[in-house]
Homo-oligomer: A and B are copies of this chain.
């Protein structure tokens, strides 16, 4: 474990969805406002980094619920467009809370040693999507882009 990676987040979400917004969004989708759901959303609201189901489950304060419930809820929240799922290729899904109207499209720079995550706004591939559509006849094109490398902390650790 390394300390809180304060300075590591490049893109700071300006608007953090409020609890009332979130419950409204749930209600609109005829989803129940359960204690587990609120606890999970609170964990996500407190973290600006992508979290795994297990991490979310571990971070639940006060209210405990089954890990399966966390899994089910994150799938539901993803379907409703309230969270975005990321895949860093390590076989574990990670999630970030989205603000309404924001599709949360961005990418990450992940340290291959300590998994520190930096958010990246740049997204050249988006410019390519139209070209690819024209060239290959594909429609509804999207993409996933993740960067990997060794973060400054890990580099010095190696030297020490």
Contacts and interface: CB of A to CB of B under 8 A. Distances in A.
Interface string A53-66: 00000000000000
A10 B145 contact: no
Interface stretch (A13-21, A67-75, A95-103, A133-141): A133-141
Contacts of A91: 91
A89 interface: yes
Interface string A88-123: 010100000000000000000101100000101010
Given A125-B145, A143-B145, A138 B111 contact: yes
A78 interface: no
A139 B128 CA distance: 26
A142 interface: yes
27 contacts: A10-B135, A87-B87, A87-B89, A89-B144, A91-B91, A109-B141, A118-B136, A122-B131, A124-B127, A124-B128, A125-B145, A128-B147, A132-B149, A136-B151, A137-B155, A138-B147, A138-B149, A138-B150, A138-B151, A139-B149, A139-B155, A140-B150, A141-B148, A143-B145, A143-B147, A143-B148, A144-B145
Rank and list the top 9 A-B pairs by shortest CB-CB distance, nearest first: A124-B124, A138-B149, A141-B149, A137-B152, A143-B147, A87-B89, A145-B145, A139-B150, A140-B150
